[in-house]
Structure 1
Amino acid sequence: MTRVFTLTLFALAASVALAQDKPKTEIPAAGADGWITLFNGKDLTGWEGLEGYWSVVDGAIQCSEQKATSKQSDLILLCSKDNPEKFADFELRYSWKMVTPEGNSGVQIRGKIDNAKMLHVGGYQADIDAGNGYTGIIYDEGGVAGGRGIMSKRGEKTVWDAENKRSATPLDKSDADIKKAIKPVGEWNECVVHAEGNHIVYSINGQVTTDLTDDSPKACKSGVIGLQMHGGFTMTIQFKDLRIKLLEKK
């Protein structure tokens, strides 16, 4: 019993030491214009995901899965994992293309890794799906932002107050009109997510799709960036042109 306990302590100490020895992933240097390139267009350097699901195809990050072996997981930006406090206020730009006629994905911002083994990130998600039923909303993935589900619908300006109560007013354009700006399966969509303080704006192809102000005690202030692989689908999605500008807090 004593020997087993000693060996267990040794293994634990070794794993802790190994974790401490792992070099921290630094945030890449910004260009003269303030933008930081997050993907080199060649390989997955700087990212971490489950093996066998993520690759680089034609200069884009590609996620492919079969329904029978699908996972709820993310490709995690390592510099945001190692420096989550730095990813609070920013403008994130990227393009995505759904390749298959079914599938669901999204981009996690200010997230929290709530399942380290599965590399799952919860929290605010700029949602994407093949049928564009959910594309353009902000969703609380995994309930990390207080279990609030759809936090801000497409076509709405949503406010969560300090008592965690929700109110919403329509944007200038209707949900139906905004949906027309979203390109279908097989075509690239250009996205911007602007997060500053309690305010997040999600835009697709130059059109604001949803506007969120979150004053709730459950609000996510900073955290991890990840690209979602949603379980339950046979799907392929691609991402490219990922870049971020970190903003000074006012």
Structure 2
Amino acid sequence: MKKYIAIFLFFLLASCQDSPSNYTTTLFNGENFHGWEGDTLNIWRIENEEIVGGSLTETVDHNYFLVTKDTFDDFILKLKIKLLGEEGFVNSGIQFRSKRMSDPDYEMIGYQADFGEGYWISLYDESRRNRTLVAPDSAQVLEWIKINDWNDYEIRAENRRIRLYINGHQSIDYTEADETIPQTGLIGIQIHGGGKAQVHVKEITIQELNNTQPN
């Protein structure tokens, strides 16, 4: 009997332990910018438990990023995003496996899960290869997007494989062939320069994954 009790307790304790493969944490508490850094005086603010960046009355002069202080490698990132604006270049995106640049110091380098007209749910390489790495079917993605409304955005980064999802639909599946490209880094929210645009982001969670082979 003692043997069976010991076995039961072992599996019970194992099931209660949080592991990198199943533990989800909140990156934004809805109250302050704890764990983040950026221009929170002029560009980024918190309204109604949302991160808000940019302006609908003044043109954003260049790219701005609100960036995590921690780095991440393999993960499932989920958030809700809404992009507003009709004048100029209205665009946003989520940086990941990225880092801050020193010149210019407001820019980032790394992968971007893009979000904006002409770039919806595509994978862009910001300030490095400076091009879209892979994009979904432009007509199909417009059936999935909710313009001027909340969208569920999901980024899956597992080893060298990256998948993007919008409102439950997979838009791209990309595997990085260049082994010199870093697969770890910061996460950042972008408001793109050149437009009267405003991005809203909320309910940001991340599930860090074990370094297993992609499915």
TM-score, normalisation: structure 1: 0.71
Counterpart check, 1:123 vs 2:110: yes
State the Cα distance separating 1:116 from its structure 2 match.
7.1
The structure 2 residue matched to 1:45, chosen from 30, 34, 48, is: 34
Gaps of 5+ in 2: 1-17
What percentage of residue pairs aligned between the two structures are identical? 30
Task: Output the amino acid matched with 1:195.
Answer: A
The equivalent residue for 1:212 is: 174
Question: Which of 93, 96, 106 pairs up with 1:109?
Answer: 96
TM-score, normalising length from structure 2? 0.81
The structure with more helix, counted as a fraction of residues: 1
Alignment of 1:72-87 (within 5 A): 72-80=63-71, 87=72
Aligned partner of 2:70: which letter?
Answer: C
- Aligned 1:215-234 pairs, distance under 5 A: 215-234=177-196
* 1:8-87 correspondence runs (5 A): 34-50=23-39, 51-65=41-55, 66-67=58-59, 70-80=61-71, 87=72
Alpha-carbon deviation of 1:117? 6.7
Aligned partners of 1:30, 1:47: CA distance in 2, in Å? 24
Letter paired with 1:92: L
CA contact (8 A) 1:76 1:119 kept: no
Query: Number of aligned pairs?
Result: 190
Q: Is the 8 A contact 1:201 1:211 kept in 2?
A: yes
In the TM superposition, what whole-angstrom CA distance separates every residue of 1:124-157 from its partner, at most 9, and x where no partner exists? 000011xx321110000111xxx151101113xx
Which amino acid in 2 is paired with 1:114?
M
Structure 1's consecutive aligned runs of 4 or more residues displaced over 4 angstroms after TM superposition are: none
Residues 189-237 of structure 1, C-alpha deviations (whole Å, 9 max, x = no match): 0011000011000000000111111121342311111001211111111
CA distance in 1, matches of 2:53, 2:207: 25
Select the structure with the greater relative contact order (CA < 8 A; seq sep ≥ 6): 2
Q: Could you say if the C-alpha distance between residues 148 and 52 of structure 1 is closer, same or farther in structure 2, counting changes exceeding 3 Å?
A: closer
Q: Which has the higher strand share?
A: 2
Give matches, 1:154-193, under 5 Å: 154-155=136-137, 175-185=138-148, 187-193=149-155
Counterpart CA distance in 2 for 1:30 and 1:52 is: 39
1-side partners of 2:78 and 2:125: how far apart?
20
Matched, 1:98 2:87: no
Query: Any stretches of 5+ residues in structure 1 without a counterpart?
Result: 1-28, 81-86, 156-174
Distance 1:128 1:176 in 2: 15
Aligned equivalents of 1:97, 1:90: Cα separation in 2:
22
Cα pair 1:72 1:118 within 8 Å, conserved: no
